[in-house]
Amino acid sequence: MIRRWFRRPRARGAAPLAPLALPTLWGAAAVTWKLTCPLARQDDLATRVAGSAVFLAVGAGLLMGVFRSLRRELRQTRAVAQAAQQVLLRPLPPRLDGLSVAGTQLPAVPWAAVGGDLYEAVATPYGVRVIIGDVRGHGLAALGAVAAVLGSFREAAYEEPGLGGLLRRLDRALQRYVGERARDEGAGHPVPGSPSAEEFVTLLLLDIRHNGDVLVLNCGHPWPYRIGHDAELLAAGEPLPPLGAFPLPDTLPVRRCDRLLPGEALFLHTDGAGEARDAAGRFFPLEEVLGRVARRAPRTPAGVIEDVRAALLAHTGGRLTDDVAFVVVHDDRAPAQRVLVPARTGRPGPCRPRPTPSPR
C-alpha cells in the first residue's frame, strides 16, 4: 500500500515524458557509439556521413518529442480556459418569457472565448432584464472586472425592483473589485495612473416589461437599435458617465423608451462595432447594415447576429482591434399574450427621462 502511494507521483509525471523516451535512448546509444566504438573514430567520409545522420535523427526525434508534449499541454490548457470562460460568459437562453434572445462576442485576442465585453439576459418578476457592457481595455486582462459585474448582475437582477437599485449594486461590486486589485498592487487604495485606478465599465441596462415597455439606464454605452420595418436608433438625452469613473448621482435617469411591438427586435452592441475600420480607415456602417437586415424577412436573433457579424468581418478583413459583442432580443409574443395596459393614442414617442430617487 505504501509503495503504491509513493509511486503515484512518479506515474503522473511520467506521462508527459513518454514521447522523449525513445529519442533519449537513441541519443544515449549515439553518444556511447561515438565514445567507445573504434569505427566512430575513423576519418573517412562514409563514417562522418553516418555519424552526422545518426545525430541528426536523434536531434529531430528530441524536437518532435518536445513539440508533441507541448502541443498536448497547450490543448489541455486551452480546453480548461474555454470551459472557464464559458462559465463566465455563458450562452444566452434562446427564449425568455416570450422573447427570443441571442448573443455573441468577437474577442480581439486570438483563441480567446471572452474579452472585455460582457452581456447577460435573465427573466425576473419585473420583466426580462438585459445587460451589455464594455470594460476598459480588452482581452484577458479585463476578465476580473467582467466577472465582478456579471456576478453581481446575476444576483441583483432578481432582487432589485428598479434599474436604479440594480445599477448601484453593480457599482458597489465594481468598487469592491477595484479595492481588492489595489491591495494586490501593494496599495491600500487605487494609485493615480495604476491599472486599478483607471478601471471603469460602460453599461446599458434594459428592463423589458410584460406589456412591451422598455426601460433603459445608460452609463456611457452606445444606445440600442430597434429593428422593425427599418433600423432606428433609440437615443435620448445624455447618458451617465461610465461605471467606476465617477460616483453615481443621487438621481438616476431611467428612461422609458418606445414600446417593443410584436415582431420587432432590439439590437444591442458595444463600441467595438461602431469604431471598427477597414484598411482605408472607414468606419463600419452599422446602421446601414442593420437597415438591410431589417428589410430582410424572416428575421431571427441568431440570423441578425450572423448577418452583422459577417458584414463586420468582411469590412475589417477579419482583423479586430477591440472586442465586439452583439445581443438581439426579438418579441415573438402575440398581442393577446401581452398584459393589458391603458390604451395610448399613436405610436409611443421618443425616450423620455423618468428619474428614480436614490434608495435610502
SS3 string, 3-68, reads: HHHHHHHHHHHHHHHHHHHHHHHHHHHHHHHHHHCHHHHCCCHHHHHHHHHHHHHHHHHHHHHHHH
Q: Where are the domains of the chain?
A: 2-81, 91-141+200-356
Decide if 65 contacts 19 (C-beta within 8 A): yes
Q: Which three cell numbers stand for residue 150?
A: 456579471
Question: 183-240, pLDDT tens digit by residue?
Answer: 877 655 555 545 555 678 999 999 999 889 999 999 999 999 999 989 999 987 789 9
State the pLDDT at residue 76.
77
Decide if 235 contacts 334 (C-beta within 8 A): no
Q: Is the pLDDT of residue 338 over 90?
A: no
CATH for 91-141+200-356 (3.30.70.2740, 3.40.1010.10, 3.60.40.10, 3.40.718.10): 3.60.40.10
Q: What percent of the chain has pLDDT over 70?
A: 68
In 91-240, where do the E strands start and end?
95-96, 99-106, 117-124, 127-135, 201-208, 214-219, 225-227, 231-233
Exposure letters 270-307 (e unless 16+ CB within 10 A, then b): bbbbeebeeeeeeebebeebbbebbeeeebebbebbeb
What does the alpha-carbon distance between residue 324 and residue 108 come to, in Å, rounded to a whole number?
Answer: 8
Helical ranges in 89-162 per DSSP H: 143-156
State the pLDDT at residue 84.
64
What does the alpha-carbon distance between residue 104 and residue 33 come to, in Å, rounded to a whole number?
Answer: 60
| Whether the predicted model's global pTM rises above the 0.75 cut | no
Helical ranges in 89-107 per DSSP H: none
* Closest CA relative to residue 262, chosen from 338, 317, 205: 338
Cα 83 to its chain centre, rounded Å, is 13
Alpha-carbon distances, residue 292 vs 17, 229, 358 (angstroms)? 56, 10, 42
Question: 14-26, pLDDT tens digit by residue?
Answer: 445 555 566 666 6
State the pLDDT at residue 7.
39
